[in-house]
């Protein structure tokens, strides 16, 4: 009820809201559409031994769901909407010391909620695979990582010209726990992934990377990493390639709290513009409230290097192939952050297909 009220007070975000200045959701989506949205369908084929799954459409919640669901929900309007209006969702719990891989398939219009709980020393690789569709989709995910646990989270968002897709991810990372997130987005009418990661204990860490290959689509990744404790490392690496009327957005904020000495944060965002009508907006931010820290950020947008292109062409490589090689090399370090070889190969396949359409 509080989430519903919060959404109705705030309304659909628009460009005058600082966090949404590059992605005007209000221009393409009305509040009535949000409230009347249906339920996103989800499917998990197999579960590793010991991993518990609960369907959030059921009324009787187990204690581990009741004790965690909604606690990381923030004042963000769309996060509140997914919590308040959703009639669909899943909850996963990995017991202490457990491990495994889980693949979830998400499809259709509507809203859904997700909860992922890893107990002490547990580990999980979660692969989200979205199905191409047209319409509105809003998914909110809460992640609770106990001491010494490790989550690798991979999310692939296929190109869908008429889709409006919002994903809000909030994570609490305890002492010596790790959250690794990898995101590949190929654009839509408006596609946005927002992450809020709190490093709540010494030794907690997060490593985020992503790639966007866009042709007449919109893709936005907005992050906020909070170093609430000292001796907490974080890295971010995001690459965009945009052509046509495409727009790529990266907003990355890092906050180092009072007393979080020893925090080490590095963020890099780069964009490759292939046309006069494409746009890439990169906005890294640092808010440092402690003294003994290491923080660095950088952003750059440009075209293909003409000297590199000339070098390849002078070796007999056709221009289209040379451009594709340079673009692949540009996004390569972001894709190579994915440790899972099978997933990395599938992302490369999607990236290569998208780059072929640009070259």
Quick one: pLDDT band at residue 278, thresholds 50, 70, 90? very high
Query: Which residues, including other chains, have CB under 8 Å from residue 48's CB and lie 6 or more apart?
Result: 98, 99, 100, 101, 102
pLDDT (0 to 100) of residue 45: 85
7-59 tens-digit pLDDT = 999 999 999 999 999 999 999 999 999 999 999 999 998 999 999 999 999 98
Average pLDDT for residues 110-121, to the nearest whole number? Answer: 97
Average pLDDT for residues 314-334, to the nearest whole number? Answer: 93
Average pLDDT for residues 79-104, to the nearest whole number? Answer: 96
163-177 tens-digit pLDDT = 999 999 999 999 999
Average per-residue pLDDT for the chain = 95
pLDDT (0 to 100) of residue 30: 94
CA of 130: how far to CAs of 47, 87, 183, in Å?
Answer: 19, 18, 12
Average pLDDT for residues 200-208, to the nearest whole number? Answer: 98
Q: Is the pLDDT confidence value at 84 over 60?
A: yes
129-159 tens-digit pLDDT = 998 888 999 999 999 999 999 999 999 999 9
Cα 352 to Cα 295: distance, rounded to the nearest angstrom:
33
Q: Is the pLDDT confidence value at 311 over 70?
A: yes
Cα 59 to Cα 108: distance, rounded to the nearest angstrom:
23
Residues 315-319: contacts with CB under 8 Å, at least 24 apart: none
pLDDT (0 to 100) of residue 359: 57
């Amino acid at each position: 009820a509080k989430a519903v009220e919060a959404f109705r007070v705030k309304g659909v975000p628009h460009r005058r809201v600082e966090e949404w200045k590059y992605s005007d959701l209000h221009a393409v989506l009305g509040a009535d559409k949000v409230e009347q949205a249906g339920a996103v369908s989800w499917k998990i084929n197999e579960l590793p031994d010991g991993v518990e799954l609960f369907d959030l459409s059921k009324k009787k919640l187990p204690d581990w769901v009741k004790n965690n669901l909604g606690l990381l929900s923030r004042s963000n309007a769309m996060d509140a909407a997914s919590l308040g209006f959703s009639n669909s969702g899943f909850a996963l719990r990995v017991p202490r010391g457990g491990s495994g891989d889980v693949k979830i398939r998400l499809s259709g219009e509507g809203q859904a909620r997700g909860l992922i709980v890893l107990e002490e020393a547990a580990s999980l690789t979660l692969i989200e695979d979205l199905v191409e569709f047209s319409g509105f989709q809003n998914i909110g995910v809460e992640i609770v990582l106990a001491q010494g646990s490790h989550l690798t989270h991979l999310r692939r968002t296929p190109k869908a010209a008429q889709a409006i897709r919002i994903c809000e991810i909030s994570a609490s990372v305890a002492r010596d726990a790790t959250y690794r997130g990898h995101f590949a987005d190929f654009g839509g009418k408006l596609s946005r992934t927002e992450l809020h990661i709190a490093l709540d204990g010494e030794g907690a860490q997060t490593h985020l990377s992503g790639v966007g290959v866009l042709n007449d689509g919109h893709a936005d990744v907005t992050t906020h990493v909070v170093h609430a404790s000292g001796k907490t490392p974080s890295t971010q690496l995001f690459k965009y390639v945009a052509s046509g009327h495409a727009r790529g957005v990266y907003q990355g904020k890092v906050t180092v709290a009072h007393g979080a000495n020893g925090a080490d944060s590095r963020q890099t965002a780069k964009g490759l513009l292939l046309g006069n009508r494409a746009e890439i907006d990169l906005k890294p931010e640092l808010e440092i409230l402690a003294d003994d820290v290491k923080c660095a950020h950088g952003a750059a947008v440009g075209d293909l290097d003409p000297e590199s292109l000339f070098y390849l062409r002078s070796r007999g490589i056709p221009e289209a192939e040379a451009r594709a090689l340079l673009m692949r090399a540009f996004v390569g370090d972001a894709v190579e952050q994915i440790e899972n070889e099978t997933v990395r190969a599938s992302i490369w396949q999607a990236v290569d297909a998208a780059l072929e359409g640009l070259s």
